[in-house]
Amino acid sequence: MKYKDEIIRSMEWLSEKDNTIFLGQSVSYSGNAIYNTLNTLPEEKRLELPVFEEIQMGMSTGMAMDGLVPISCFPRFDFFMRCMDALVNHLDKMQNMTEFTYRPKVIMRTSIGSTNPLNGGIQHTQDHTEAFKLMLKEVKVVLLDEPEDIFKEFERAYNRQGSTLLIEHGDHYNDK
Amino acid sequence: MSIDKQYLIDFETEVKERYEAGEIKAPVHLASNNEDELIEIFKGVDKDDWVFCSWRNHYHALLHGIPREKLMNLIVRGKSMSVYSKEPNFYSSSIVGGIIPIALGVAKSIKMKGGKNKVWCFVGDMTFESGIFHESYKYAKNFDLPLQFVVEDNNLSTNTPVDETWGGKQEVPSDIIYYKYKSDYPHHGTGNWVLF
């Protein structure tokens, strides 16, 4: 299967779980490539949010503390940067701070913006993967490079304790 | 067990003494002069409710039912700024504004699952003025989430006056619980020099 099809298959598998919820911008309304990987899911599994990335990340953390597994979608890595406090100071430190009492499971999706056939420019195409691997202590960071890795990485993210950031390549939606 | 004002004061005094004895090797943020207000507010907090608050959290923790010995143990181990509990649900953070969207998410989850419990989020007046508060408040209000905000106003953020730095303060909406107080303790520590 191709890259995008594997992502769709992973989302459909996650949507079959009773405790999952997909949230973010463009989960119910078109506007970003991420929508085209979610539009086969039941509407009641999707929660379209305003553009407030930091609050989205904190909300996802709180929902996970209460037992849900949010699949929190951020259409581009560049936009994802707006959630740094909620990610770095809270979600990523919660197991340490609470001595493993709270181990929220948030599955985060973001994407390195594509450069082909349209190049979104410097504010829409950054890849911060290595910086996040260095910065995050508890959140696992996974770059989704090959189609055959995608489903098993989302499966691992769902089955592991704690949270995972999965980074997609916008260009691979077309070239792999 | 019913907790009265003197119980809270005595607890905080013991933390002060153990901090000054060099037993606690991490910052402590002590409270005073807001005991009556908190005792009154916590009459409305159910044991199944979630409580979120900041680095100044000892009174809130006791009033929500965290046992005295457990709380003191956390503080002595350096966890004063991040007191937590699962039963009852209690979470605190030492980053301004950080608890607010987390509290919002718990409230959203409770509503989605049809739960009857509620979320209480205690913030200072500097945090109340911040953008993250206003976005979260707007979302909670518009979606009628079970989230009760409480603003605890000492007009200070560390030693920075809130009104002076903002050039004024926002009006507090009527659905937010609000009280003012002036603590006898400094922002952190006890005001006395401690040799660790």
Minimal CA–CA distance to B151: which of B175, B122, B173, B174? Answer: B122
Closest A-chain CA to B49: A66
Tell me which chain A residues have a C-beta less than 8 angstroms from the C-beta of B98: 58, 85-86, 89-90
B167 half-sphere exposure, CB direction, 13 A CA radius: 0
Closest A-chain CA to B91: A98
How far is residue A16's CA from residue A37's CA, in Å, rounded to a whole number?
Answer: 15
Is A88 at the interface with chain B, CB within 8 A? no
Read off φ and ψ for residue B51, nearest 5 degrees. Answer: -125, 125
Q: Which of B77, B84, B102, B145 to mutate to test the interface with A (most CBs of A within 10 A)?
A: B102
Q: Which residue(s) pair with B124 in the sheet?
A: B152
Instruction: Summarize the confidence of residues B16-44 as an average pLDDT.
Output: 96
Collapsing DSSP to helix, strand or coil, B67 comes out as coil
Instruction: Summarize the confidence of residues B2-29 as an average pLDDT.
Output: 95
Is B127 at the interface with chain A, CB within 8 A? no
pLDDT at A43: 96
Closest B-chain CA to A51: B135
Q: B108 to chain A, minimum CA–CA distance in Å?
A: 7
Is B147 at the interface with chain A, CB within 8 A? no
Q: A62 to chain B, minimum CA–CA distance in Å?
A: 4
pLDDT at A8 over 90: yes
Q: pLDDT by residue (tens digit) across B49-90?
A: 999 999 999 999 999 999 999 999 999 999 999 999 999 999
pLDDT at B1 over 80: no
Instruction: Summarize the confidence of residues A98-105 as an average pLDDT.
Output: 97
How far is residue A35's CA from residue A25's CA, in Å, rounded to a whole number?
Answer: 9
Q: Which of A25, A53, A65, A99 to mutate to test the interface with B (most CBs of B within 10 A)?
A: A65
Is B84 at the interface with chain A, CB within 8 A? yes
Residue B88: asked if its preceding bond is cis (omega within 30°), the reply is yes
pLDDT at B193: 86
CA distances from residue B95 to A12, B13, B32, B81 in whole angstroms, order as listed? 36, 25, 21, 9
Determine whether the interchain pair A55/B110 forms a contact, defined as Cβ–Cβ distance below 8 Å. Answer: no
Q: A67 to chain B, minimum CA–CA distance in Å?
A: 8
Task: Please state whether beta strands B177-180 and B147-153 pair in parallel, antiparallel, or not at all (unpaired).
Answer: parallel
Work out the mean pLDDT of chain B and round it to a whole number: 96
Task: Give DSSP secondary structure letters for chain A.
Answer: --HHHHHHHHHHHHHTSTTEEEEETTSSS-SSGGGGGTTTS-GGGEEE--S-HHHHHHHHHHHHHTT-EEEEE-S-HHHHGGGHIIIIIIGGGHHHHTTTS-----EEEEEEPP-SSS---TTT----HHHHHHH-SSSEEEE--SHHHHHHHHHHHHHSSS-EEEEEETTHHHH-
pTM higher than 0.95: yes
Tell me which chain A residues have a C-beta less than 8 angstroms from the C-beta of B102: 58-59, 61-62, 65, 86, 90
Task: Give DSSP secondary structure letters for A85-121.
Answer: IIIIIIGGGHHHHTTTS-----EEEEEEPP-SSS---
Q: A121 to chain B, minimum CA–CA distance in Å?
A: 29
ipTM: 0.96
Determine whether the interchain pair A68/B112 forms a contact, defined as Cβ–Cβ distance below 8 Å. Answer: yes
Q: pLDDT by residue (tens digit) across A149-176?
A: 999 999 999 999 999 999 999 999 988 8
Q: pLDDT by residue (tens digit) across B160-171?
A: 999 999 999 999
